[in-house]
Amino acid sequence: MKHQAHLFVPGDWVTDTLQVPRASAAHLNKVLRYPDGGIVTYTDGYGRVGGGRWVDSAIERGPERLKPRITDLTIAVAPPKQRDRARFVVEKAQELGVAKLIWLNTDHTVGQPPSDSKVDAWLTGALEQSQGAWRTQVSGPATLADLDDPILCDATGRDFPGDDRTATATVAVGPEGGWSESELAGRPTVSLGPTTLRVETAVVAAAALFLHRQRQGDSIALPEALA
Amino acid sequence: MKHQAHLFVPGDWVTDTLQVPRASAAHLNKVLRYPDGGIVTYTDGYGRVGGGRWVDSAIERGPERLKPRITDLTIAVAPPKQRDRARFVVEKAQELGVAKLIWLNTDHTVGQPPSDSKVDAWLTGALEQSQGAWRTQVSGPATLADLDDPILCDATGRDFPGDDRTATATVAVGPEGGWSESELAGRPTVSLGPTTLRVETAVVAAAALFLHRQRQGDSIALPEALA
């Protein structure tokens, strides 16, 4: 299957023709050998998507619409030490449609959040590749106390959905060293399964499970709330 | 938290002391600076685990037991072209506890299965890191016709668990180019969500969802079967 190009074009789109970053233009012209007049789709990362044409290394705008955000899931995560694992966290959160990703400072955090420019490049690549319309918002570093009623992924928790009775929107994934006792105290927990997962694996597994639950809506949450 | 070493030691364990591969011994001695007499755990990858001591760069065996296999999930996947994405598929399948991973030749497959030696190294790393007892069995290449009633991950399918009414044990993830019409014809499908996922992301998401379903047992499958 030939992939149709999907481009991230931030901004307000006030002109009939949209300029794209030099790297994107070079990719279309030189790597994909995109034909002049070829159909492209594009997004501002805030739900607006359009279908237009690739003319003179810019986008000639066509029909556009607003796509609703599919989820409000926030994942807070202690940054992995290794760069390729941090890249994976960002890419996969974007692919799966996580709304917000927050780097977390925890008692046992050892990694540093990757630079803003790296994160931007990873997000753009994943947004374009997955034909997305909403860009994952990445922020931090924050602490657990900054989060809105987080549920903590932890091996000691009950199996998913764990102690969560209200279809929470904020899931926290700790560092390889785990949570401290004081971090766990009084906070709801969830186990993603019986095996020990790396940070980036836990992020994808948590996103898959919680996003699925959000899509199911109250049909899953209600019986627990009534219990 | 200091990580206790967990070692993969294949074989029948007939002696009181187990020799480990040279690379593992060097890792413990030089990287982890493991003390002589330090406690280690070890597994044969077929459910047998033990707790012993690290003495003279070998394992002095201690109490051992057999851990039951937690899942019989098989994932068949078209190999991604890029090496680091193939590594991710193997590592994450092992971490999550997927029983079998089968490389799949499909009508649109473009990647080649990684070499056996690479796969072995990735599996060992992930098994040791995640403190596992069962090694994921990797095989192939196979075709869809070789598989035991597979359910195909596809954007056109119903949301998870899709058309699957019997808690299937074989999930197939296609290549970036998707399935052909003839591959889809007459086969059950499942959608992992509303976004386009890369191969390695689909593998982790499918594993998380289907393994969770297996752990829940008939409690999830039954209402559908009765419907």
Give backbone dihedrals phi and psi of B33, rounded to 5 degrees, phi first: 50, 50
A106 φ/ψ angles, rounded to the nearest 5 degrees: -120, 175
Give me the percent of chain B exceeding a pLDDT of 90.
74
Q: Do B92 and A132 touch (CB under 8 A)?
A: no
Chain B: closest CA distance from residue A1 (Å): 5
| B148-153 long-range Cβ contacts below 8 angstroms, 24+ apart | B148/B74, B150/B76, B150/B187, B151/B187, B151/B188, B151/B189, B151/B190, B152/B179, B152/B183, B152/B184, B152/B187, B152/B188, B152/B189, B152/B190, B153/B189, B153/B190, B153/B191, B153/B192, B153/B202, B153/B206
- Write the pLDDT tens digit of every residue in B29-84: 998 899 999 999 999 999 999 999 999 999 999 999 999 987 889 999 999 999 99
A89–chain B Cβ distance below 8 A for any pair: no
Integer Cα distance of A192 and A205 in angstroms: 7
In sequence order, what are the residues at sequence separation of 6 or more whose Cβ sits closer than 8 angstroms to the Cβ of residue A182?
A107
The answer to whether B108 contacts chain A (CB < 8 Å) is yes
Q: Give the C-alpha separation, B53 to B60, whole Å.
A: 5
pLDDT digits (tens, 9 = 90+) for B170-184: 999 999 889 999 999
Helix, strand, or coil here: B8? Answer: strand
- Which CATH class for the B6-66 domain? mainly beta
Q: What is the domain partition of chain A in residue ranges?
A: 6-66, 74-226
B interface mutation test: which of A73, A89, A95 has the most B CBs within 10 A? A95
B98: pLDDT strictly greater than 60: yes
d(CA A30, CA A117): 24
Mean pLDDT of all residues in B112-125: 96
A77 touches chain B (CB under 8 A): no
Cβ <8 Å between A96 and B129: no
Substitution target in B2, B32, B201, B224 with the highest count of A β-carbons within 10 Å is B201
- CB of A84 within 8 Å of a chain B CB? The answer is yes
Q: Average pLDDT across each block of 10 residues of chain A; the chain has 227 residues. List them in order.
A: 82 94 90 93 97 96 93 94 94 96 95 95 94 95 94 91 72 94 94 91 95 70 34
Rounded to the nearest angstrom, the minimum Cα separation between A60 and chain B is 25
What's the CATH fold of domain A74-226? Answer: Alpha/beta knot (3.40.1280)
Residues 6+ apart with CB under 8 A from A71: A97, A98, A99, A211, A214, A215
Give phi and psi for A88, each to the nearest 5: -60, -40
Among chain A residues, CA nearest to B159? A212
pLDDT reading at B22 higher than 60: yes
- Nearest CA-CA partner of B210 in B175, B167, B177: B167
